[in-house]
């Protein structure tokens, strides 16, 4: 179909919730995307930290194709083998005792909130408040947008659900003051991705974990963006040596196929009873077939080592750009990196120019460029990106 016709249909029919860029991608191969004109792009956005195995990965394609030919969906009233296999991998290779599968990160966070509240309901304790961080992002549903600590996402949808409050991120004293007796769970990101890839300070997250333990509160970590290998470990919290009660996953878990998960340990894992929660599509055979490939790659190859190594390399190459006065900071862990710009240069402008040069990068919160490429990204591709940014910045008159 002609690109202009595609845009015409989109403008006519789709709710206006996206500001789309003027490109239509039609296929991918490896770490590259190709648009409707045949132009090639190196992908450093990964569908916003989703397409972790790149494009046309042979194992992923075979698993999805094979499962689609056998069975795509059944109700969770029945057992299905790919789901059982995936849950075994998620439990046996982590600290968690139970898992529930859903379709997205927002759904995983909804389930985590419900699980925490059900835990205290079972105990007969009135501790329904979920304490979250300012500038966080947890999803677009009414509950998760309320948990999100950014009023620009939630204010238009008032009245919002009750039982949520916020404290400044990376400020332990403020967090401690906010941990009142009604707080049943603390919900944090190890790295605040949407607000500009802002990592938790080590002492802040470790002390927050200890605070939860001392107050009898549950710790929920939203690893929708950082989980399943993105930071060079299966979970980002492993960098901190802590053991949260509940963790949420999505994005990279299905390598492009929609799937999310909430994992729980200890008493929290036993809070739900039959009928307390559910999902029509969550954990269907096709989604689980995709996720099983991702887990196998993480568990049975050197992929995590390569993520850690190439993440350090990407950070080092980006850090060389700090010589420009409009580059404020370079930060991140593994293959989730960010280049923060000063007000002198807008991130969307840079992302647009880099798209024209054949690189897909993401402009996110606080005037930041976010880099979340496939885990299969190569050093040569990182060099090409960094060289192109260096050339662009050298010819930027500010």
Mean pLDDT of all residues in 50-73? 98
Question: Which candidate in 44, 137, 237, 240 is catalytic?
Answer: 137
Per-residue pLDDT, 222? 98
Structure token pair of residue 30: 């490896």
Q: Which residue has the tokens 């059944």?
A: 74
Per-residue pLDDT, 188? 98
> Residues 6 or more apart from 139 whose CB is under 8 A from it?
104, 105, 106, 107, 109, 110, 145, 147, 148, 224
Residue 398 has pLDDT above 80, yes or no: no
Mean pLDDT of all residues in 343-367? 96
User: What residue segments make up the domains of the chain, in order of their start?
Assistant: 3-56+303-394, 71-300
pLDDT in tens, 249-290: 999 999 999 999 999 999 999 999 999 999 999 999 999 999
Mean pLDDT of all residues in 55-72? 98
Active site residue 251: yes
pLDDT in tens, 194-250: 999 999 999 999 999 999 999 999 999 999 999 999 999 999 999 999 999 999 999
pLDDT in tens, 169-200: 999 999 999 999 999 999 999 999 999 999 99
Per-residue pLDDT, 235? 98
Per-residue pLDDT, 397? 80
Per-residue pLDDT, 3? 95
Question: Which candidate in 96, 222, 235, 237 is catalytic?
Answer: 222
pTM: 0.96
Largest pairwise CA distance in the chain: 64
| Portion of the chain with pLDDT greater than 90, in percent | 99
Distance, CA of 283 to CA of 289 (rounded, Å): 9
Per-residue pLDDT, 396? 87
Per-residue pLDDT, 236? 98
Q: Which residue has the tokens 């989980």?
A: 227
pLDDT in tens, 102-132: 999 999 999 999 999 999 999 999 999 999 9
Give CATH for domain 3-56+303-394.
3.90.1150.10
261 touches 110 (CB < 8 A): no
Q: Count CA atoms within 13 Å of residue 230 on its CB side.
A: 34
Per-residue pLDDT, 128? 98
Return the CATH architecture of domain 71-300. 3-Layer(aba) Sandwich (3.40)
Strand runs (DSSP E) across the chain, as ranges? 25-29, 32-35, 40-43, 98-102, 129-133, 164-167, 183-188, 191-192, 198-199, 218-222, 246-249, 260-264, 327-333, 336-341, 359-360, 362-364, 368-371
Distance, CA of 360 to CA of 47 (rounded, Å): 10
Per-residue pLDDT, 232? 98
Residue 100 has pLDDT above 90, yes or no: yes
Mean pLDDT of all residues in 29-44? 98
Active site residue 222: yes
Per-residue pLDDT, 137? 98
**What's CA 188's distance to the chain center, in Å?**
13
Q: For the chain, give me the number of helices (H) and strands (E)?
A: 13, 17
Measured from the Cβ of residue 66, the count of other Cβ atoms closer than 10 Å reads: 10
Question: Which candidate in 237, 251, 272, 359 is catalytic?
Answer: 251
| Portion of the chain with pLDDT greater than 70, in percent | 100
Per-residue pLDDT, 267? 97
């Amino acid at each position: 179909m002609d690109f202009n016709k595609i845009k015409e249909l989109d403008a006519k029919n789709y709710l206006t919730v996206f500001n789309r860029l003027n490109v239509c991608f039609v296929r991918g191969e490896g770490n590259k995307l190709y648009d409707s004109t045949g132009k090639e792009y190196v992908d450093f956005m990964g569908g916003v930290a989703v397409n972790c195995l790149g494009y046309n990965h042979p194992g992923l394609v075979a698993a999805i194709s094979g499962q689609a030919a056998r069975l795509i969906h059944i109700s969770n009233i029945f057992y299905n083998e790919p789901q059982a296999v995936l849950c075994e991998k998620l439990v046996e290779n982590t600290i968690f005792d139970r898992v529930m599968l859903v379709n997205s990160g927002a759904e995983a966070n909804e389930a985590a909130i419900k699980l925490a509240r059900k835990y205290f309901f079972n105990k007969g304790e009135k501790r329904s408040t979920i304490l979250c961080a300012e500038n966080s992002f947890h999803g677009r549903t009414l509950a998760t947008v309320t948990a999100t600590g950014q009023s620009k996402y939630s204010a238009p949808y008032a009245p919002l659900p009750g039982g949520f409050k916020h404290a400044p991120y990376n400020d332990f004293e403020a967090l401690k003051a906010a941990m009142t007796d009604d707080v049943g769970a603390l919900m944090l990101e190890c790295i605040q991705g949407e607000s500009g890839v802002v990592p938790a300070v080590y002492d802040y997250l470790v002390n927050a974990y200890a605070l939860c333990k001392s107050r009898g509160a549950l710790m929920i970590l939203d690893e929708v963006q950082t989980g399943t290998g993105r930071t060079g470990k299966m979970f980002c919290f492993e960098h901190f040596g802590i053991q949260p009660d509940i963790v949420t996953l999505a994005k990279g878990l299905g390598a492009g196929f929609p799937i999310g998960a909430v994992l729980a340990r200890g008493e929290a894992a036993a809070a739900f009873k039959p009928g307390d929660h559910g999902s029509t599509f969550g954990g269907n055979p096709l989604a689980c077939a995709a996720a099983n490939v991702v887990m196998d790659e993480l568990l049975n190859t050197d992929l995590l080592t390569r993520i850690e190594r190439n993440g350090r390399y990407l950070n080092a190459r980006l850090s060389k750009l700090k010589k420009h006065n409009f580059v404020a900071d370079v930060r991140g862990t593994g293959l989730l990196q960010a280049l923060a710009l000063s007000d002198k240069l807008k991130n969307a402008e840079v992302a647009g120019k880099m798209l024209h040069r054949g690189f897909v990068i993401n402009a996110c919160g606080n005037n930041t460029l976010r880099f979340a490429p496939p885990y299969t990204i190569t050093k040569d591709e990182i060099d090409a990106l960094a060289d192109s940014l260096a050339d662009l910045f050298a010819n930027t008159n500010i």
